[in-house]
């Protein structure tokens, strides 16, 4: 897969950064534009980093399943939420994939394709509209440069807070019968903002347990939290035998949208380009939409009418979600934040799925504001349905 020096003279697409966003773009282009020449440049030795990406029922539009299907590593029928005063089952596929799986699917896709080349250990220092410069001085020409170098490049601080977490993939001492994710269990000591446990059951004896905080600060004591996860696992009915893998995330949840795409030149994609959900810090849904766009329009139309429509739609969603962060991190603290989250999950499954997919309608937005508003009658929390 890795090439020391590409043989493509002028690539149609140069993808800078081999993380989630550009891997999705590569897969979509390979499916829809099999003759397009693509050069992907990744600084590290492998693609994808160290992540477990999860996504909800509507995050992937129907049209994208053609190329997204192989990426699904785990799939469950829905997920459970347990709050202090209520619980809730949300129906609709919940899916996950690991970085290793993503890298493997990309490798299979590009195998024997001379028009797609991947260079690892290729640190890019500069992206210009039609050329890319590497740290070692090499320059590559491309018709469209797509810069998706990840969250570190999105340095602008836009208020709000953070979704921060430590996740441990654990081997269990005794098998469990849990057959769906526990998206939120807030029945744990609350501190550092709003806190909850998140559990993904990969196999009867293997789970991911995450300790997550919606906090006003990015500080994360990874060692202490890791110890706490194992100590508190018993509360969730999990006996940890050993830790297989760990992941850490500090995802900005900005109070002002960072989504300001330009209509020319280098295309800033992925997290760095603001293509993420400010209300969750997750980016898969937005990344898929961008990949869909790029794979369905001609190179010369990348910034055409379809682009303007997509940007307009995403901008509205991004501003709405950032506004929710402004409210949550500015006005709701400690127990109020936990209550707010519980009330959010009073809305219907469809409204929840559209919220995650950045596809909320005006009515959805009104409903979300209504359940979150402090003046909403408290009795409404009884409407949460019982767990399955």
List contacts with ligand FAD (CB under 6 A): 16-22, 41-44, 49, 51, 53-55, 123-124, 148-151, 247, 249, 251, 270-272, 281-284
How far apart are the C-alpha atoms of 253 and 214, rounded to whole Å? 9
CB of 261 to ligand FAD, least distance (A): 14
Q: Between 55 and 329, whose beta carbon lies closer to ligand FAD?
A: 55
CB of 215 to ligand FAD, least distance (A): 15
Q: Between 20 and 347, whose beta carbon lies closer to ligand FAD?
A: 20
Residue nearest to ligand FAD (CB): 19
Beta bridge partners of 16: 41, 147
Q: Between 6 and 249, whose beta carbon lies closer to ligand FAD?
A: 249
CB of 94 to ligand FAD, least distance (A): 10
Q: Between 148 and 347, whose beta carbon lies closer to ligand FAD?
A: 148
Contact 40, 144 (CB under 8 A): no
Residue 25: count other Cβ atoms within 10 Å of its Cβ. Answer: 27
How far apart are the C-alpha atoms of 367 and 345, rounded to whole Å? 11
1-to-73, 247, 373 alpha-carbon distances in Å: 22, 26, 52
CB of 225 to ligand FAD, least distance (A): 13
Owner of token pair 């030149």:
265
For residue 265, what are the contacts with CB-CB under 8 A and spacing of at least 6?
Answer: 129
CB of 122 to ligand FAD, least distance (A): 6
Which of 336, 319, 335, 318 minimizes the C-alpha distance to 373? 336
Q: Between 18 and 372, whose beta carbon lies closer to ligand FAD?
A: 18
């Amino acid at each position: 897969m890795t090439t020391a020096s590409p043989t493509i003279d002028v690539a149609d697409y140069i993808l800078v950064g081999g993380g989630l966003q550009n891997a999705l773009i590569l897969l979509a282009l390979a499916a829809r534009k099999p003759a397009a020449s693509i050069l992907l440049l990744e600084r590290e030795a492998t693609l994808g980093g160290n992540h477990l990406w999860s996504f909800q029922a509507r995050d992937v539009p129907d049209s994208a399943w053609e190329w997204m299907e192989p990426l699904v590593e785990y799939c469950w029928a829905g997920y459970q939420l347990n709050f202090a005063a209520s619980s809730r089952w949300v129906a609709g596929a919940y899916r996950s994939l690991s970085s290793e799986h993503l890298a493997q699917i990309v490798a299979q896709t590009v195998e024997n394709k001379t028009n797609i080349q991947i260079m690892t250990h290729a640190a890019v220092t500069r992206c210009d509209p039609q050329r890319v410069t590497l740290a070692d001085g090499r320059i590559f020409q491309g018709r469209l440069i797509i810069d998706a170098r990840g969250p570190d490049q999105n340095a602008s601080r836009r208020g709000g807070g953070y979704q921060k977490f430590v996740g441990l993939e654990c081997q269990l001492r005794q098998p469990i019968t849990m057959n769906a994710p526990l998206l939120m269990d807030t029945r744990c000591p609350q501190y550092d903002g709003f806190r909850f446990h998140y559990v993904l059951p990969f196999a009867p004896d293997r789970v991911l347990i995450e300790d997550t905080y919606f906090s006003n600060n990015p500080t994360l004591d990874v060692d202490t939290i890791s110890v706490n996860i194992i100590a508190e696992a018993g509360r969730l009915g999990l006996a940890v035998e050993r830790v297989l893998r760990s992941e850490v995330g500090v995802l900005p949840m900005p109070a002002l949208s960072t989504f300001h795409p330009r209509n020319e030149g280098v295309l800033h994609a992925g997290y760095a380009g603001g293509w993420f959900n400010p209300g969750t810090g997750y980016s898969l849904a937005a990344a898929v939409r961008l990949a869909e766009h790029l794979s369905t329009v001609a190179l010369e139309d990348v910034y055409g009418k379809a682009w303007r429509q997509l940007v307009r739609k995403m901008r509205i969603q991004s501003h709405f979600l950032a506004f929710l962060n402004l409210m949550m991190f500015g006005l709701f603290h400690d127990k109020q934040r936990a209550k707010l989250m519980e009330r959010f999950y009073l809305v219907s499954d469809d409204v929840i799925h559209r919220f995650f997919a950045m596809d909320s309608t005006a009515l959805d937005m009104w409903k979300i504001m209504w359940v979150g508003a402090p003046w909403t009658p408290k009795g409404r929390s009884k409407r949460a349905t019982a767990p399955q």
